[in-house]
Amino acid sequence: MSIIIKTDEEIDAMRQAGRIVAAILEILSKQIKAGTETRELDNIVAREVKRRGAKSSFQGYRGFPANLCVSVNDEIVHGIPGKRVLREGDIVSLDFGAIFKGFQADAAVTVAVGKVNEKAKGLIETTEGTLETGINAARSGARLGDISATIQNYAESRGYSVVREYTGHGIGREMHEEPQIPNFGLPGSGPVLKKGMTFALEPMVNVGDWRTRVGDNHWTVFTADGSLSAHFEHTIVITDGEPEVLTRGVYA
């Protein structure tokens, strides 16, 4: 197993997939309000990927039954959209990946439903900050463990925990390529980062303990202690300088 270095053409295909992911997440974010059924979000994704000549990375992946993951409150990841109705004060993690011209991009965002309490607000802000600081550590010549350690330190120094059983990942022709990118680890460890490597960084941050449990549907992952969890993700490419974020929206 090795980390695939992408050509400029391959990165450009991922850039196009990334723009689609960003645009669709932006559309979904605007639909997050009290009274929305989570399956309505799935319908929007089905329509929007088709309109753009793309496909969902998630639909059918290991049998996953929807176009995106919608995870509410103590649900961390892999929530299946359905009849659940969003309520004022909920927090909702939207995780979506697209395939376009044979290449993939993957991103996630956690959105507040109406007005949320300070605890939820702090969690969302911290998780987004955790991702941004992780992205900033993703430099040519640094090591993979530098990203992991940066993410862990940012979240834990603010009193939160990072989920350990689920990780970021390489991405390209496949949604999940080598390497796994844990959201915890030791600086200076792991492979050296090189220009042209493409990663999906995705810290999942909990208010309480880092431990998880999988729900009765065999997909949805919950915090074991029932505390709130947030999830932010971007697909990035290592360059000679600052990493390029492929899923940052122009929101076209």
Query: Would you tell me which residues interact with Mg ion (CB under 5 A)?
Result: 106, 200, 202
DSSP assignments along 66-102, one per residue: SSSEEEETTEEE-PPPSSPBP-TT-EEEEEEEEEETT
Q: Which is nearer to Mg ion, 106 or 146 (CB)?
A: 106
Question: Degrees (nearest 5) of the Cα angle 152, 162, 185?
Answer: 40
Residue 193 beta carbon to Mg ion: minimum distance, rounded to whole angstroms = 18
Q: Which is nearer to Mg ion, 36 or 42 (CB)?
A: 42
Residue 169 beta carbon to Mg ion: minimum distance, rounded to whole angstroms = 6
Residue 115 beta carbon to Mg ion: minimum distance, rounded to whole angstroms = 29
What region does 84 belong to: left with phi over 0, alpha with psi -120 to 50, or beta? beta
Residue 233 beta carbon to Mg ion: minimum distance, rounded to whole angstroms = 5
Q: Which is nearer to Mg ion, 109 or 116 (CB)?
A: 109
Q: Which is nearer to Mg ion, 68 or 228 (CB)?
A: 68
Contact, 134 vs 203, CB < 8 A? yes
Work out the burial of residue 196: count CB atoms within 10 Å of its CB; fewer than 13 is exposed, 13-18 middle, 19 or more buried: middle
